[in-house]
C-alpha cells in the first residue's frame, strides 16, 4: 500500500477518554462490534483481531435487510496507545485498498493559576 493516489482524508476527533481506551476501541473485537459499522442501523456481528505487525483485522457488518459486508486489513504499525496503522479494504472492492492511520494522545495538563 502506497500513497500513489495523492488523496488523503484527515479526520480529527476529540474524545473524553484516555488514549488507551481510544486505542482499545480500534483493537478489541468486543469493542469493535459495538461501534464499527457503516450506518447507525447496521450491526457488527463479527470482529477478529490479530494485533501484531502483519496481523489481520476482519470485520463483518450487517445491514438492516440482513445483507453482510466484510472488510479486512493488515496492521503495519502498532505503538500502543499512540499510533495504529493498518491497511483496510472492503471485500466487494479489493482494488480500493486504503491505509488507515490513527494517532492518540492524552490531553495536556492545564496550567494551574
Q: Is residue 9 part of a domain?
A: no
Q: Is residue 19 part of a domain?
A: no
Q: Is residue 17 part of a domain?
A: no
With 0-12 / 13-18 / 19 or more C-beta atoms within 10 angstroms meaning exposed / middle / buried, residue 59 is buried
Q: Is residue 112 part of a domain?
A: no
Domain count, the chain: 1
Q: Is residue 4 part of a domain?
A: no
Tell me, what CATH number does 60's domain have? 3.30.530.20
| Residue 107: per-residue pLDDT | 59
CA distance 108 to 12: 16
Mean pLDDT value across residues 5-20: 77
| Residue 5: per-residue pLDDT | 57
Q: Is residue 76 part of a domain?
A: yes
pTM metric for this prediction: 0.78
State which residues form the domain around 86.
Answer: 41-103
Amino acid at each position: 500500500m502506497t500513497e500513489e493516489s495523492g488523496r488523503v482524508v484527515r479526520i480529527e476527533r476529540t474524545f473524553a477518554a484516555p488514549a488507551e481506551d481510544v486505542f482499545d476501541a480500534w483493537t478489541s473485537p468486543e469493542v469493535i462490534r459495538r461501534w464499527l459499522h457503516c450506518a447507525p442501523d447496521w450491526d457488527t456481528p463479527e470482529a477478529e483481531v490479530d494485533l501484531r505487525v502483519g496481523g489481520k483485522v476482519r470485520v463483518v457488518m450487517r445491514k438492516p435487510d440482513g445483507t453482510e459486508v466484510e472488510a479486512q486489513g493488515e496492521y503495519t504499525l502498532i505503538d500502543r496507545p499512540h499510533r495504529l496503522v493498518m491497511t483496510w479494504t472492503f471485500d466487494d472492492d479489493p482494488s480500493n485498498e486504503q491505509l488507515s492511520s490513527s494517532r492518540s494522545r492524552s490531553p495536556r495538563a492545564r496550567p494551574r493559576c
